[in-house]
Amino acid sequence: MNGWYVDVQTNTVVVTVNRHKVTLHRLRRVRRIRDRRPLRHPGSEATDQYGALYGYFAGSTFPYYDYAWVQTVAGVNLWGYMEGYNGYWYYVRGSAQVPVGSGVCRSGSTTGMWCNYIQARNQTVNYPQGVVYNLTRTNVCAQPGDSGGSSLSSNQAQGVTSGGSGNCSTGGTTYYQEVNPILSAYGLSLILT
């Protein structure tokens, strides 16, 4: 078993079993960050793929939840957009949660922008590295390296990619951590356009 959730449309409890390994894609809060410490300890550097310093990890939570945040250094400009990795940037106007069944798009540095539907909320996922609670399940594909990417629906930020199974050739399941609890946990707010 890799998780369970309540399907509000059918009023049933669904237990998910996946014959394929569920992989954990660790959170990368800033575009293409790589951390020199595997667990993203507060104070560790957040850099881009070229080694340029973006900032320092100021908080990180795993297992139980899967999120972190980076305090940026002077000179790093933040914008209220989601990068689509397709030459486009998508406005972020807020973070109102949309209902199950709504369309959602996910952006990731490996596969770019992919869209599909929200299937369930309050999903519990048993990763090999630990259990993560309160994830949202989608049928949007993702692959390793897409973790930490944004999820957006109707210009409303929805969450941050945690992990999943499958791939973008055959399809799959992706889980994201809701953005509002992350903001609340660290006393943060979104930069909006």
Q: What is the CATH number of the domain that holds 13?
A: 2.40.10.10
Residue 12 placed within a domain? yes
Per the structure, how many domains does the chain have? 1
DSSP β-bridge partners for residue 125: 3, 132
Residue 53 placed within a domain? no
Residue 124's pLDDT is what? 94
Residue 29's pLDDT is what? 31
Residue 70 placed within a domain? no
Residue 44 placed within a domain? no
Q: Containing domain of residue 125, as a range?
A: 3-28+77-186
Residue 134's pLDDT is what? 96
Residue 38's pLDDT is what? 42
Q: Which of 122, 120, 127, 167 is nearest to 146 (CA)?
A: 167
Residue 45 placed within a domain? no
Which portions of the chain are predicted below pLDDT 70? 1-6, 8, 16-41
Residue 13 placed within a domain? yes
Residue 65 placed within a domain? no
Residue 97 placed within a domain? yes
Residue 151's pLDDT is what? 98
